[in-house]
Amino acid sequence: MTTLIIGLLTPVLIVGAIIIIFVRRGLQIKELCDHGIETTGRVEGKRTVKPSNSGARQKKLEYRYTDSAGATHSHTSVVPIDIYDRYDEGSPIEIVYSSKHPDISAPRYLIDQARQAMRKP
């Protein structure tokens, strides 16, 4: 009986966690659209990752930036191949970080797309 309950709850918990991750990032993107500060970061690394259940490889850029208070932050972002190929390690990258939560950031192109989708200047 316990095995059956665990077997039924596991997929529900996994789907719930995935939903929470997507909702959280969506709220972060909204935060960046509303309270974002543009700055230039530096690409620290480039990675190609193959998820275990998919044949498609993900391209990731890791970047570092300094906020207006002088604190340094880093973030890794999944990007399309054209964006991935545009940058080399050590090259500058335009990013947007939150004035309220400076550790939240995204590449500027992504925020530009989100603002356009939400029709925000």
* Structure tokens, 120: 């925000």
Residue 44 has pLDDT above 80, yes or no: yes
Host H or E run for residue 109 = helix 108-118
- Averaged pLDDT, 8-34: 88
- Alpha-carbon span 117 to 112, nearest angstrom: 9
Whole-number pLDDT of residue 108: 96
Residue 26 binned pLDDT confidence (cut-offs 50, 70, 90): confident
Say if residue 120's pLDDT is above 60: no
CATH class of the domain at 2-118: mainly beta
Cα separation of 12 and 92, whole Å? Answer: 42
What percent of the chain shows pLDDT beyond 70?
Answer: 94
Specify the residue for token string 């193959």. Answer: 50
pLDDT in tens, 52-108: 676 678 899 999 999 999 999 999 999 999 999 999 999 999 999 999 999 999 999
Mean pLDDT in the chain?
90
Indicate the domain borders of the chain: 2-118
Q: CA-CA distance, 108 to 55, in Å (whole number)? A: 28
In DSSP notation, 4-71 reads: HHHHHHHHHHHHHHHHHHHHHHHHHHHHHHHHEEEEEEEEEEEEEE--TT-SSPEEEEEEEEE-TTS-
pLDDT of residue 55: 67
